[in-house]
A and B are shown apart, each in its own frame.
Chain A
Amino acid sequence: MLDNINFTEKKATRDGFGDGLLELGKQDDSVIALTADLLGSLKMGDFKDAFPDRFIQVGIAEANMMGIAAGLATAGKIPFTGTFANFSTGRVYDQIRQSIAYSDKNVKICASHAGLTLGEDGATHQILEDIGMMKMLPGMVVINPCDYNQTKAATIAIGKHHGPAYLRFGRPKWPIFTPADQKFEIGKALLLAEGTDVSIFATGHLVWTAVEAAKALAAQGVSCEVINIHTIKPLDEEAILASVSKTKCVVSAEEHQRNGGLGDSIAQLLARKMPCPMEYVAVNDQFGESGTSMELLEKYGLGKNDVIAAVNKVLKRK
C-alpha cells in the first residue's frame, strides 16, 4: 500500500479551500463567503468573481466578521469566514464561543496559514494552539486536511454538515497524494497503509511526513500502520482502537502544540479504553520563528526523521 502513495504535483491546501468553496457556491446559493482583508491569501478570488453578491469584505475586523457570520447563519445562510488561523481562533475566541458555538450557528470557520509552515512571517502568525482551542468548544467540528484534494473535499463536506465547523489548512505548496475523487466523511479516519508494529496517526501536512517516514521504516523492516485523522473532532475512536488493538503502540504527528492537539485527543481515548506506549511528534510548549517551512519543521521536531525517531522510541517501550 505504501508504495502506491506518491505525488506528481504540489499545491497548497489553501488552494483546495478556494476551489472547494467555488464548487460549493455553485451547488448551493445560500453559501456566503466573508473575509477580513485576506481575499488573496485565502484563495477566495474565484468565489468573489463568480458570486459577487454572496461575497462580503469585512475589512480588518475579525470579531465583527464572526458576528456577521453568526447573523447570516441565523437567517439561514451558510457563511464561510476566511482569514489566517491565528485571527480565526485566538483573536476571536469569545465571539466564536458565544455567538457561534453556544448559539449553535451554522458557521464554517476556515483558517489558512496554520502552524509553522506559514514560514517567514514568524511566530506572531504561526498559531500552534488553534486545534486545542477549537476542539474544546462543545459541538465544534475540527478538521485539518492533509493535501489539496482533501481540503477541497472537506470544504464541500462542511458546507453540507449542519453546525459550526473549524477547517484548518496551510500556506505552502505540499504534495498532493490523495485521490481527487476520494470521499470525505467528517469524523471518518482514512487508512493509508496497513501495518502491524506501530500505529501512526497523523493530521494535516504531517500525514505526508508520516507516509515518508513509514516508507523509510519499511525499508528497515518496521511495519507501520498509517492513518489519516483529518477530523480531530469528532474523533474516529473506532478506527483508532481497531488499529491500536493490533499494533499496541502509537505515534501521533501534527503541526500543533502537543498540548491540546490530535495526540492529546488520542491519549485521552487510549487512557480510557486501551492504555499503551505513545510518542508525540508535535511542538512542545514553544513558539515558532521566521524561516522556511521545511527549516522550521526540522528545527521544531516535525520532520520525517522525527517521526522515524518517535517510532523507534515507542517500539522499545512496547
Chain B
Amino acid sequence: MADIQKLKDIAQQVRRDILRQVHQVASGHPGGSLGCADFFTALYFEIMDHDPAFNMEGKGEDVFFLSNGHISPVWYSVLARSGYFEVAELATFRKLNSRLQGHPATEEGLPGIRVASGSLGQGLSVAIGVALAKKMDGDDKLVYVLTGDGELQEGQIWEAVLFANHNKVDNMIVTVDWNGQQIDGANKDVLTLGDLPAKWESFGWEVLHTDGNDMEKMLATFAAAKALTGKGKPIVILMKTEMGAGVDFMMGTHKWHGSAPNDEQLAEALSQLPETLGDYPL
C-alpha cells in the first residue's frame, strides 16, 4: 500500500518548490504546476517504475513525457526530489547557463527530459513513437504522457488520437490536465472543448476519470488504467485539477497561469504550505 501521507508531504514540498522557483525569476507558470503537483508526485513516487540514473532510451522502464511544457516547475521539482539531479539546482530555474530552461529541453542535458516541449500539441505524438518502439523491442513497460486541456485545441493532438486508436497503442496512459483554464481565460470561453469524454470515446479510447488533487482517488484510477493496458485500446485519464491548487488565492482563476507571485504573495502562499522535506537553498 502506498503511504498516502508521505506522498502528500512530498506534494506539499513540491508546491513550495514551484512557488519559490517562479518567484525568484519573476516568471514561469505556477497555476498549472500547482494543480498538477499531486499528479507528478504520485507518478514519480508511486506509479512509475523508473530509474533516476536516467538513460535517454528508457528501455526496460516506464517513461514520462510532458506535452504542456510550460508547467516545467512542477516537473523539475519532482525530478530533483526523486533523485534525477540535486535539489539545489532548482535555484537555477530560468537563469542564464541553467539546465532548467523555461520550457523543458534536452540540449543542456538535464536528466529526466527526453524531448523539448513548450510549443503545444507535440508530446502525445512523441510518446506514441516511444510506445511503438517498446512494442517492437518486446519491452512491457509503459509510456505516460500529460497534456493540458487547452492544448487539445491543437490539431496535431487529434492526429495522434486517431493514430493511437488505429494502431492499438495500448501501452501508453495519457492524462489530460482538465482544469478548464488557459492563458486567455476559461476553455469554454476561448474555444470550447465540448463533450470531452464523448470525443475521446468516439475516437476509440478507453476513458477514465479522476481527481488530480485527491491522492487516493488518483492512485486508484492509475491502478485501473494499468489494468486496462495491453487490451488493444489506448487509454486516457481525464483528470480534473484546480489551477493553483494548494494556495487559496491562486485557485479558481486563470490569473496565475503565467505570472509569478511577488514577495508578499510568496510569503502568504508559503505560509499555507509548511516545509516538509526542506527548502532548497537560494
Contact A68 B107 (CB under 8 A): no
Contacts known (A66-B125, A99-B125); A77 close to B156, Cβ less than 8 A = no
Contact B132 A63 (CB under 8 A): no
Contact B117 A98 (CB under 8 A): yes
Contacts known (A61-B162, A103-B115); A76 close to B107, Cβ less than 8 A = no
Judged by a CB distance under 8 angstroms, whether A270 is at the interface is no
Judged by a CB distance under 8 angstroms, whether B168 is at the interface is no
Which residue from chain A places its CB closest to the CB of B67 in the assembled complex? A67
Contacts known (A68-B128, A70-B129, A74-B130); A102 close to B163, Cβ less than 8 A = no
Per-residue CB contact flags for chain B residues 111-155 toward chain A (1 = under 8 Å, else 0) read: 000111111011111111111111011000000000000000001
Q: Number of contacting residues on B, CB 8 A?
A: 37
A-side interface mostly: helix
Nearest CB in chain A: distance from B239 CB, A: 22
**Central interface residue in A59, A79, A103, by most chain B CB within 10 Å:** A103
Per-residue CB contact flags for chain A residues 39-82 toward chain B (1 = under 8 Å, else 0) read: 00000000000000110101101011111111111111101000
Contact A63 B159 (CB under 8 A): yes
Nearest CB in chain A: distance from B231 CB, A: 21
Q: Number of contacting residues on A, CB 8 A?
A: 32
Contact B156 A64 (CB under 8 A): yes
Q: Which residues of A contact B126 (CB under 8 A)?
A: 67-68, 70-71, 74, 99
Contacts known (A64-B125, A69-B129); A75 close to B119, Cβ less than 8 A = no
A interface residues, Cβ below 8 angstroms from B: 32, 53-54, 56, 58-59, 61, 63-77, 79, 94-95, 97-99, 102-105
Q: A64-B160, A70-B129, A103-B105 are in contact. List 13 more A-B contacts (CB 8 A).
A: A59-B162, A61-B159, A61-B160, A67-B128, A70-B126, A71-B126, A72-B133, A74-B114, A75-B134, A77-B133, A77-B136, A95-B156, A102-B107
6 A-B interface contacts by CB (under 8 A): A71-B115, A74-B133, A75-B134, A76-B59, A95-B156, A98-B122
B interface residues, Cβ below 8 angstroms from A: 56-59, 105-107, 114-119, 121-134, 136-137, 155-156, 159-160, 162-163, 166-167
